[in-house]
Structure 1
Amino acid sequence: MGPEQVQEQVQDLCTETLAKGADITSAERWADNSRPSGLVITFSSGARLWTGVTTANAESFASTASAAVAPSDAPPPPALFDSAGKITPIRAEQYLAAVLTAARAPEITSAYSYSSTAPRRHPGIGIHLADGTRAFLPFVYTAAHGKKPAARAFTIDAAF
């Protein structure tokens, strides 16, 4: 299966799984000229988050890939909104990773926030799939309710 098909499968899996999050109104496919695969996630506050979707096949991780593992248990998703009713990139990372893990989809063995692995310049989430494939969802744009996203990709608001 080619990379495009794998990315489409990840998009389908994520749109279905993320739409079940309590504070998520919708999760839909998104693409533009420079990004053929992505998701746009709308939160209950009306804020939106656009992610890219890239994947790496199991062979890329042969030294660390193991047999399919049952999805890990996850605590309930953390609070998405801060005391001002805004979402920060770190809160979005933690919330989305928890929603993906808590769904217990057999295809997902784990999900993590980029900031949980090491200090990162850019927020996003990673997903480990049961077949050894890894998916990466870097945050591309954010927009508060009623606002438009920045004109330049990877310009992420401190709170949205």
Structure 2
Amino acid sequence: MRPDRFQQFAIDAYRGAGLQAEAWTEGTKRPFGVVVTVPGGARLWHAITVQSAEGERYDQDEQPVEKEAPAPVTVPELGAGRVSLGVLEEYLAALLTNTGSPEIVKTWRYSDREQAGTTPGLGVEFWSGARAYAPFVLAARAGGSPGAPFDLPSEV
């Protein structure tokens, strides 16, 4: 799935769960991303990058590959108070999994990887062989402003 289509796919999945979500960009530095507002009013900005399927050429039409969609997973409750970024990883990954998209093999949280990175986020693997990555870049508590990129609080 190409980055522009994944961006809209994520926005639609988040909105389908009742969240506010819109496209976000930082020009050529981060051309694709989403800003999500959760029920308690906190906001999260995640970038989008994509590792293309082997042999994919952007000068040709995209050729999505569809097979069996991943089994639905439990979506954690967010509530109206503060929420940890780890729970937000799980929540957003679950929303993408539960779309029932036959293009998705699986989703994962960055914190679940064998070597967890320093930045929270999530990833999606597609049957085409492509992968989408959504690192969390900015976060702000309800009514607050985000800090510097990747200088994230533990909860929002």
Give, as a single letter, the amino acid of the residue that structure 2 aligns with 1:130: W
Question: How far, CA to CA, are the matches of 1:72 and 1:35 in structure 2?
Answer: 29
After TM superposition, list the pairs within 5 Å mapping 1:1-160 onto structure 2: 6-21=2-17, 24-33=18-27, 34-59=29-54, 68-81=66-79, 85-118=81-114, 119-150=116-147, 152-160=148-156
Question: How far, CA to CA, are the matches of 1:58 and 1:102 in structure 2?
Answer: 23
Question: How far, CA to CA, are the matches of 1:103 and 1:68 in structure 2?
Answer: 14
Instruction: Encode CA deviations 1:84-132: one digit per residue, 9 max, x unaligned.
Output: 8211111001111111101112232221111112322110000112322
Moved >4 Å (runs of 4+):
none
Question: How far, CA to CA, are the matches of 2:91 and 2:53 in structure 1?
Answer: 26
- Secondary structure of the equivalent of 1:70? coil
Deviation of 1:143 after TM superposition, in Å, equals 0.5
Question: How far, CA to CA, are the matches of 2:78 and 2:117 in structure 1?
Answer: 20
Question: Normalising to structure 2: TM-score of the pair?
Answer: 0.85
Question: Between Structure 1 and Structure 2, how many residues are aligned?
Answer: 145
Sequence identity of aligned pairs in percent? Answer: 32
Question: How far, CA to CA, are the matches of 1:140 and 1:43 in structure 2?
Answer: 16
2:67 and 2:103 in contact (8 A); partners too: no
Give, as a single letter, the amino acid of the residue that structure 2 aligns with 1:25: L
- Secondary structure of the equivalent of 2:73? coil
1:53 and 1:136 in contact (8 A); partners too: yes
- Secondary structure of the equivalent of 2:54? helix
Q: Which runs of 5+ in 2 are unaligned?
A: 56-64
Q: Report the RMSD for the aligned CA atoms in angstroms.
A: 1.9
Question: Normalising to structure 1: TM-score of the pair?
Answer: 0.83
If each structure's helix is expressed as a fraction of its own residues, which one has the higher value?
1
2:14 and 2:92 in contact (8 A); partners too: yes
1:68 and 1:132 in contact (8 A); partners too: no
Question: How far, CA to CA, are the matches of 1:58 and 1:45 in structure 2?
Answer: 37
Single out whichever of 103-112 and 137-146 deviates more from structure 2. Answer: 103-112
